């Protein structure tokens, strides 16, 4: 591991500025534990003294966080203009946080100094120098984030360099050049970093935003130009279009550039940790996220599948296991026999010895896809299709006589309530059940559970976790075909099923019933019709 290179995570501070993202103190403590497990060098916990929740985070972190790898870092500003550093309450709050490292943000664009801070160039330099020196006297490691550095450099190179020199001379461990507006491109980043290193001799870091879609590329260009610290957020969280995705940056550094920047073997945990943080942050994982996304190593075209049968490396830039991910075969109307065969093998079905059956399954998939089905995001439905093809029938846990859903508007309360009724046979008995829900899908889910739980108590371990509707033929308006994807969690696994029908309710019924059938079957529950 390269101990001279610093991996700095700002998920808990800069990442938390993402629209719609709100982290509790408990969330932040949990995410910090995952970041430490990944092996980052520094975890920026927030701005104590300015944000009450962050003050509380550092208070609790002092006794509740047991970091083994990372150094907890507090973020804050230099002293205010015209205020002595010993008298500035914000600076004192950084000291009171007990964080062993502190990152100061300072203006490096003269326009921001004069218009935003409403002070002089000389006073801004004094604010940097005195605050860094004061915190160093308190025994803290200090970094300086040179805010809007690249824009400031373009406007007034001389002053931007003065800020870097002032921080370095006062004892800052690294001066981090921030592309705060996210407008730079890799060649610009590389040239400017090289120039600043040459002119200042300072240890530099890089902090990029993704407004040009180049945050990761810009970070790598800066590393190539000699920065010793790279900042980013897990999963690319952040304001506007986000920050540099530390997941991608770290994987690129380790697997593409051969730089060991994490402890031995930690890069293999990055998929699991990235997904765990998504869960805590209540953010849906980005399917096409490089390295760790569900689609990162997913293959759909039949030509790819044919080659993968011979050698998986022919169509993959790395072994997915290197980052803790898996290869997936997608089943669609683009699939050939090789795709179906490989996907079947992935799901536990060996179709290689029966070419006729393989051809029949391939034909059936193409036929169903033409009708609106999709199996690339519905492995459970495809598994049931293969079960039927191989064994002649799919599992049956009940015989449905009829079902219906009605919606009633109740004027007294102003609420619309959905009521579902199902008539079915299970456990040797005819069951009639009725349940209400806050929508038709909720009502169907509840009435199925009510009818089947006495016979199959295992259903209590299953939970509907996601529901997606897509209208497939928008030109047909209300007559359009509707596709529903349902995600269910249970017994430590997650599965997806698909339903297609002339309306949302019928499609939802199909997907829900298949979800229950697959879940019970995968748990090894015997049919008791």
The DSSP secondary structure of 85-125, one letter per residue, reads GGG-HHHHHHHHTT-SEEEEEEE-SHHHHHHTS---HHHHH
**281-303 per-position pLDDT tens digit:** 878 788 899 999 988 988 765 55
Percent with pLDDT over 70 in the chain: 94
β-strand partners of 46: 74
**CA 339 – CA 346 distance, rounded (Å):** 11
State residue 58's pLDDT score: 98
State residue 331's pLDDT score: 59
Query: 6-281 adopts what CATH topology?
Result: TIM Barrel (3.20.20)
**CA 120 – CA 293 distance, rounded (Å):** 48
In eight-state DSSP terms, residue 24 is -
Task: Please report, for the chain, the start and end positions of each structural domain, with discontinuous segments joined by +.
Answer: 6-281, 298-370, 399-522
State residue 307's pLDDT score: 59
Reported pTM: 0.70
Element (H, E) at 2: none
DSSP alpha helices (H): ranges in 335-489? 337-346, 355-370, 379-391, 440-452
Structure token digits, residue 354: 């029966």
Residue 518 vs residue 326, higher pLDDT: 518
Q: Which CATH number describes the domain made up of 399-522?
A: 3.30.160.270
Cβ contacts of 110 within 8 Å, gap of 6 or more:
121, 152, 155, 156, 159
> Please, what sign has the CA dihedral across residues 48, 54, 58, 60?
positive
* Residue 324 confidence (pLDDT) above 90: no
Confidence of residue 379 (pLDDT cuts 50, 70, 90): confident
Lowest mean pLDDT among 80-89, 232-241, 349-358, 393-402: 349-358
Give the residue-averaged pLDDT of 96-103: 98
């Amino acid at each position: 591991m390269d101990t001279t290179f610093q991996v700095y995570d700002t998920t808990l501070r800069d990442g938390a500025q993402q629209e719609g993202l709100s982290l509790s103190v408990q969330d932040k403590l949990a995410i910090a534990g995952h970041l430490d497990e990944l092996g980052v060098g520094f975890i920026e916990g927030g701005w104590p003294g300015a944000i009450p929740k962050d003050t509380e985070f550092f208070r609790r972190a002092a006794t509740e966080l047991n970091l083994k790898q990372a150094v907890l870092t507090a973020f804050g500003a230099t002293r205010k203009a015209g205020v002595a550093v010993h008298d500035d309450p914000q600076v004192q709050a950084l000291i009171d946080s007990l964080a062993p490292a502190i990152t100061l943000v300072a203006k490096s664009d003269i326009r921001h100094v004069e218009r935003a801070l409403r002070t002089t160039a000389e006073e801004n330099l004094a604010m940097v120098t005195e605050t860094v020196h004061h915190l160093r006297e308190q025994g803290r490691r200090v970094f300086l984030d040179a805010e809007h550095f690249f824009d400031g450099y373009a406007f007034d190179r001389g002053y931007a360099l003065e800020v870097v020199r002032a921080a370095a001379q006062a004892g800052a461990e690294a001066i981090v050049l921030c592309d705060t507006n996210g407008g730079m491109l890799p060649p610009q980043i590389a040239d400017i970093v090289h120039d600043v290193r040459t002119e200042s001799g300072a240890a530099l870091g890089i902090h990029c935003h993704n407004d040009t879609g180049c945050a990761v590329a810009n970070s790598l260009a800066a590393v190539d130009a000699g920065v010793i610290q790279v900042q980013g957020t897990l999963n690319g969280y952040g304001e506007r279009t986000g920050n540099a995705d530390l997941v991608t940056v770290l994987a690129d550094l380790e697997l593409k550039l051969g730089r060991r920047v994490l402890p031995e073997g930690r890069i293999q945990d990055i998929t699991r940790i990235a997904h765990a943080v998504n869960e805590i942050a209540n953010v849906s994982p980005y399917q096409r996220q490089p390295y760790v996304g569900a689609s990162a190593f997913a293959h759909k075209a039949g030509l790819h599948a044919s080659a993968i049968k011979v050698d998986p490396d022919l169509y993959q830039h790395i072994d997915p296991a290197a980052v803790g991910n898996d290869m997936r075969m997608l089943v669609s109307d683009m699939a050939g026999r090789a795709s179906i065969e490989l996907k079947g093998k992935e799901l536990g079905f060996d179709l290689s010895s029966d070419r006729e059956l393989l051809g029949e399954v391939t034909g059936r998939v193409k036929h169903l896809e033409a009708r609106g089905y999709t199996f690339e995001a519905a492995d459970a439905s495809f598994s049931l299709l293969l079960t039927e093809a191989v064994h002649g029938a799919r599992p049956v846990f009940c015989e449905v006589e009829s079902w219906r859903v009605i919606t009633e508007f109740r004027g007294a309360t102003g609420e619309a309530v959905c009521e579902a009724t199902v008539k079915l046979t299970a456990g040797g008995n005819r069951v009639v059940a009725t349940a209400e829900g806050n929508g038709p899908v909720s009502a169907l889910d509840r009435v199925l559970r009510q009818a089947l739980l006495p016979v199959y108590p295992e259903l209590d371990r299953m939970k509907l976790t996601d529901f997606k509707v897509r209208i497939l033929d928008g030109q047909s308006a209300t007559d359009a075909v509707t596709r529903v994807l349902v995600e269910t969690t249970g017994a430590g696994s997650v599965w997806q099923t698909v339903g297609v029908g002339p309306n949302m309710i019928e499609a939802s019924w199909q997907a829900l019933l298949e979800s229950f059938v697959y879940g019970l079957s995968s748990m090894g529950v015997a049919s008791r019709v």
